[in-house]
Amino acid sequence: MATKRLSGVYTALFTPLKNDCEKRLYNSIDYEKTKLIIDDLISSGVSGIVPVGTTGQSATLSHKQHLDFIRFVVDYIGDRCEVIAGAGSNCTRESVSIINKIMDIKRIPVLCVTGYYNNPPRYGVKKHFETLAEETGAEIVLYNVPGRTNSYITADTVIDLAQNPQFIGLKQAVDFTIGGDHREDTLNIIKATEDMPFSVVSGEDDSLAQLIRDGGTGIISATANIPEALTMMNTIITEARQGNHEKAFELQFQLTPLIQACFSRKNPIPLGTFFNSPLYQPLCSVLETEDGEILRESLLELINSQAPSLKKYHP
């Protein structure tokens, strides 16, 4: 089996904001809080950090903020862990432009999503990614998340693209568990690319143990913003790789409360509560959602019981 390019736990980094605007439209990014988050993740053994993905409020950052935040993260991390920058768009020209500007900061891999809203056919999806590779020369991680995009990269398309070494992996945010809608596709991709450096990583936090058992190599995770969750995910991967699948699934079950908390409202709304940060509209705080006060109290209680590292964000 070829050495896989991506391996371990990659955190889809939350972008914290300051409480410096009453309307919450133009809050400043909180770079000091970002440093605290990054330092905790690196101390907890993160393989890489992925700024400005879905969890990083990519859909509501301005282009300037997008690039400024990536530059900050790259500079602050240095060589302490890998950085993979979110650079997706449903407009091929826009994604090419963003990737090229990221490459001017540093030549790092980029994570690119499928064509949300315009939902192109298979040929359009394939051509989109081929153009990104050709026009930028970047290493690209494909991002399959049809639940948000209503667009799907088929197994045949992934396998075709994987022949180009610029495509280094797939973040598979679909149901690939036993009986899941996309299980056969995921297994076919893993089998077809087993002799390539191409990696398949989970985008579903509650299915990490299953993907590693099936031959996947890691995860890009929102819940892994929580150091305690990150540590447990690393242990799940270690146990599964050693063939201790029963133990891996047991640990996966133990991680369920933190995962359910992070996705109790649309990601990254609960992380806003965990890190005591506002969010850009049209996202809102947990308090402004149905039964918000009850949920907020349960999230704060979870910090006390399972994620004490987050107490520093709640003076």
Active site residue 127: no
Quote the pTM value.
0.96
Q: How far apart are CA 203 and CA 77, in angstroms?
A: 23
Q: pLDDT tens across 27-57, in order?
A: 999 999 999 999 999 999 999 999 999 999 9
CB 115 within 8 A of CB 124: yes
Q: Which domain holds residue 70?
A: 8-244
pLDDT at 305: 97
Known binder of ligand: residue 256?
no
Q: Is residue 306 in some structural domain? A: no
Q: Which residue has the tokens 């070494």?
A: 165
Q: Is residue 292 in some structural domain? A: no
Which backbone phi and psi does 49 adopt, to 5 degrees? -125, 135
Burial of 115 from C-beta contacts in 10 A (0-12 / 13-18 / 19+): buried
Q: Is residue 110 in some structural domain? A: yes
Which CATH number does the domain housing residue 160 bear? 3.20.20.70
- Beta pairing partners, 17: 29
CB 221 within 8 A of CB 196: no
Known binder of ligand: residue 220?
yes
Q: Is residue 200 in some structural domain? A: yes
Q: Which of 33, 126, 143, 152 does the annotation list as catalytic?
A: 143
User: Quick check: bond before 197 cis, omega within 30?
Assistant: no
Q: How many domains does the chain have?
A: 1
Q: Which of 171, 247, 266, 312 does the annotation list as catalytic?
A: 171
**Three-class secondary structure of residue 152 per DSSP:** coil
Query: Would you write out the chain's pLDDT as a tens digit for each of its 315 residues?
Result: 678 999 999 999 999 999 998 776 789 999 999 999 999 999 999 999 999 999 999 999 999 999 999 999 999 999 999 999 999 999 999 999 999 999 999 999 999 999 889 989 999 999 999 999 999 999 999 999 988 888 999 999 999 999 999 999 999 999 898 888 999 999 999 999 999 999 999 999 999 999 999 999 999 999 999 999 999 999 999 999 999 999 999 999 999 999 999 999 999 999 999 999 999 999 999 999 999 999 999 999 999 999 999 999 998
Q: How far apart are CA 197 and CA 286, in angstroms?
A: 41
Active site residue 191: no
Q: Is residue 282 in some structural domain? A: no
Q: Is residue 254 in some structural domain? A: no
Q: Is residue 1 in some structural domain? A: no
